[in-house]
Chains A and B, each alone.
Chain A
Amino acid sequence: MSNLDSKFINYKNVEMLGKYITETGKIVPGRVSGVTSSQQRKITKAIKIARYMALIPYTDSHK
């Protein structure tokens, strides 16, 4: 995870963001994901945008 390129942190990179959400759709905390805090902030932001655009789910129990 340490060689994560900041250029690839984008809300459209669904495949990459999928590694940083749990099965229930929660964001994996920085202490668990092991990325730098700067990258974790970018990932968190990208996940929240991707959720709004229905690219990844908010939860595993959408009706």
Chain B
Amino acid sequence: MQNYEIALIVNPDMSSDIEGFKKEFEGLLSSLDFNVVNVNDAGRRQLAYTIEDHNKGHYIFYFVEGNPENLSELESKVKFNEVIIRHLVLKLKNFSDIEFNLAVKSETTTEKVTKKSSTESMKTEVKNEDPDQKDTKADAPELDTSDEDESKVENQEKEKDE
């Protein structure tokens, strides 16, 4: 038996059905007698460079123990799975860094917070400007606010997706 860490970048379009992918992949692992010790789903993350025209990827890390003889078969299966855009198998001496999680979720939440705060500050600015402008130009500020509302909705949708 040998310890491995399997790092996968999954197509971000699969993020909505990531549980289905995980089940499928864990089925593949168990069929090759790999015992899953821990799974770390780090979520969607911005890639440092584009891979196959993807700017984002869904990172999943599996900590498994299994027979080295089955590894080549696993690698070939992973290689021809088009949902997985990049993979890496590392041999581990032990699972000492098993809790070493990629700090992704906290980063994305801070991003969201900054986005929200920026939109909120925009709102307040518009509100401050509104009373003065409505007296002079009634139409223009309304158009501005409607545009902003749309952008807010888009942001919310993006957040939901994420």
Contacts and interface: CB of A to CB of B under 8 A. Distances in A.
A31 B96 CA distance: 30
Interface residues of B, number: 19
B16 interface: no
Interface residues of A, number: 17
Contacts, number: 40
Contact of A54 (B47, B61, B90): B47
Interface in A46-63: 49, 51-58, 62-63
Given A7-B96, A10-B97, A54 B57 contact: yes
B48 A12 contact: no
Interface of B: 7, 9, 47-51, 57, 59, 61, 86, 88, 90, 96-97, 100-103
27 contacts: A7-B97, A10-B97, A10-B100, A12-B100, A12-B102, A15-B103, A49-B90, A51-B48, A53-B7, A53-B59, A53-B86, A54-B9, A54-B47, A54-B48, A54-B49, A54-B51, A54-B57, A54-B86, A55-B102, A56-B48, A57-B48, A57-B49, A58-B48, A58-B49, A62-B48, A62-B50, A63-B50
